[in-house]
């Protein structure tokens, strides 16, 4: 004899014999249930789910229940049974907008590498729901989190219910909610947002239960035309351990990449950050730092802070020399330890001439081209100043080096052979 109280459990058991694991997981298990004496009230988390369940599974549910010989009524509603009881005031831990005030569009420096991502974020603000989900992907330290906060800060000014959350935190909150029997509140909380900003989705990889919860949350928001913005370290299809249905949902939306900033953008970022830190730097220093730190914005910022902190501590102004000193250890790591002499030697050998002739004042074509190439490479591949390079070339003036470099850079664009030769020389230098 079936105990009335566990009728639904029994029904679930039977259903799982006839439905696939996926159907159970997607459609049946998300239903919450309130069982009264003569009625089983099922609640679907949203309209979409209710309609799908009604269309595809209700008959099955009814026939399964009827086999238990009960006269129970069955109803299917939207919401969750806890909504009909006292609304729980306590929200799952982690409820705050979690926004950092510093990261706004105003403090975000735009460049070629992040233009598209920024534009997509702005359109989310102007027309929420237009790109849904918006998925921003790219390597570490390139400004993904900054953009999420920028959206959040802007929208919370407009009194939108917006939450920024790292995916890891989403998982933690879910686990806590499960442990405290608050999963319904958890779901309700996220599903009632206007905008969900979820950072670093790669953390979901391989976490099935979290993915599932996220998927339902996401669908619920999507259904209600609420905006979801996600970031990840790679394109959706490339995230291993992310379910296909989630991947394809992500691909439907808008995907934009954010790339490492080019030199000019790095310089602009440094100058902007230095201003914010009340320690403006000269463009000479900015170029020096930007040239030597080319990985990502976080590194750039970290090193700038280090230079500024040291200058305040030592009460010195930030000259080029000072910046070099501060970053000496970093630079020696970065530097390929290529010297002016090595460049001269390799270049001379490559062009089948002699170092002495390159250094001499001979103006024949056989020697001027290698000389200029070598000077240009010295500028490109070493951290020596123009006067030092000039000295290294038989005591020439720094303007000679400058002109040689300009000439070669221009020629290189027109002359593929020259570009190839210079690549070859660089390769030899780098590989000993």
Q: Is residue 245 a contact partner of residue 281, using CB atoms and an 8 Å limit?
A: no
> Min. distance of Cβ 108 from ligand ADP in angstroms?
4
Q: Looking at beta carbons only, is 176 or 202 nearer to Mg ion?
A: 202
**Half-sphere exposure for 343 (CA within 13 Å, toward CB):** 26
Q: Looking at beta carbons only, is 112 or 413 nearer to ligand ADP?
A: 112
User: What is the full DSSP assignment across 171-193?
Assistant: HHHHHHHHHTT-HHHHHHHHHT-
Q: Looking at beta carbons only, is 30 or 143 nearer to ligand ADP?
A: 143
Sequence-distant contacts of 145-149: CB under 8 A, at least 24 apart = 145/103, 145/199, 145/231, 146/103, 146/107, 146/108, 147/108, 147/114, 147/117, 147/118, 147/121, 147/231, 147/258, 148/197, 148/199, 148/229, 148/231, 149/99, 149/100, 149/103, 149/104, 149/197
Q: Looking at beta carbons only, is 261 or 390 nearer to ligand ADP?
A: 261
Going residue by residue from 145 to 174, which x/- string records binding to Mg ion, judged by CB under 5 A? Answer: x-----------------------------
Residues 46-105 that bind ligand ADP (CB under 6 A): 103
Q: How far apart are CA 301 and CA 293, in angstroms?
A: 10
Q: How far apart are CA 231 and CA 405, in angstroms?
A: 41
In the complex, residue closest to Mg ion by CB? 145
Q: Looking at beta carbons only, is 291 or 298 nearer to ligand ADP?
A: 298
Residue 299 interacts, among Mg ion, ligand ADP, none and using kind-specific CB cut-offs from 5 to 8 Å, with none
Residues 292-331 that bind ligand ADP (CB under 6 A): 297-298, 301
Residues 118-157 that bind ligand ADP (CB under 6 A): 140-146
Count of positions (residues) in the chain:
432
Residues 396-415 that bind Mg ion (CB under 5 A): none
> Min. distance of Cβ 105 from ligand ADP in angstroms?
10
Residue 108 interacts, among ligand ADP, Mg ion, none and using kind-specific CB cut-offs from 5 to 8 Å, with ligand ADP
Q: How far apart are CA 285 and CA 265, in angstroms?
A: 14
Q: How far apart are CA 266 and CA 58, in angstroms?
A: 59
The contact set with ligand ADP (CB under 6 A) reads 103, 107-109, 114, 140-146, 269, 297-298, 301
Q: Which residues bind Mg ion (CB under 5 A)?
A: 144-145
């Amino acid at each position: 004899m079936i105990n009335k109280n566990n009728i639904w459990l029994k029904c679930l058991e039977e259903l799982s014999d006839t439905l696939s694991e996926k159907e159970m997981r997607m459609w049946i298990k998300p239903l919450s249930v309130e069982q009264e004496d003569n009625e089983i009230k099922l609640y679907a988390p949203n309209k979409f789910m209710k309609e799908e369940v009604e269309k595809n599974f209700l008959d099955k549910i009814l026939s399964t229940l009827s086999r238990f010989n009960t006269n129970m009524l069955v109803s299917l509603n939207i919401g969750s049974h806890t909504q009909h009881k006292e609304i729980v005031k306590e929200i799952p831990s982690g409820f705050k907008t979690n926004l950092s005030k510093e990261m706004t569009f105003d403090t975000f420096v735009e460049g070629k590498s992040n233009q598209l991502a920024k534009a997509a974020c702005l359109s989310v603000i102007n027309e929420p729901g237009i790109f849904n989900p918006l998925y921003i992907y790219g390597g570490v330290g390139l400004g993904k989190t900054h953009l999420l906060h920028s959206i959040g800060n802007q929208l919370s000014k407009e009194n939108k219910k917006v939450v920024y959350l790292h995916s890891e935190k989403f998982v933690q909150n879910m686990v806590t909610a499960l442990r405290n029997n608050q999963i319904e509140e958890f779901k309700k909380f996220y599903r009632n947002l206007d905008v969900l900003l979820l950072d670093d989705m790669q953390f979901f990889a391989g976490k099935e239960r979290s993915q599932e919860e996220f998927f339902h949350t996401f669908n619920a928001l999507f259904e209600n035309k609420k905006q979801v913005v996600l970031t990840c370290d790679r394109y959706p299809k490339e995230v291993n351990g992310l379910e296909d249905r989630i991947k394809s949902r992500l691909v439907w939306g808008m995907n934009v990449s954010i790339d490492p900033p080019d030199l000019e953008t790095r310089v602009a970022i440094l100058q902007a950050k230095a201003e914010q830190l009340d320690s403006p730097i000269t463009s000479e220093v900015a170029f020096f730092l930007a040239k030597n730190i080319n990985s990502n914005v976080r590194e750039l910022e970290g090193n700038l802070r280090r230079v500024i902190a040291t200058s305040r501590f030592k009460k010195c102004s930030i000259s080029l020399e000072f910046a070099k000193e501060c970053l000496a250890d970093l630079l020696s790591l970065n530097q390929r330890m290529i010297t002016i002499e090595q460049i001269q030697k390799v270049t001379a050998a490559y062009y089948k001439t002699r170092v002495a002739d390159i250094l001499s004042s001979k103006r024949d074509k056989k020697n001027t081209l290698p000389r200029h190439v070598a000077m240009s490479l010295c500028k490109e591949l070493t951290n020596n100043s123009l006067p030092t390079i000039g000295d290294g070339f038989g005591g020439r003036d720094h303007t000679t080096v400058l002109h040689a470099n300009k000439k070669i850079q221009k020629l290189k664009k027109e002359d593929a052979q020259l570009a190839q030769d210079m690549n070859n020389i660089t390769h030899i230098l780098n590989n000993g």
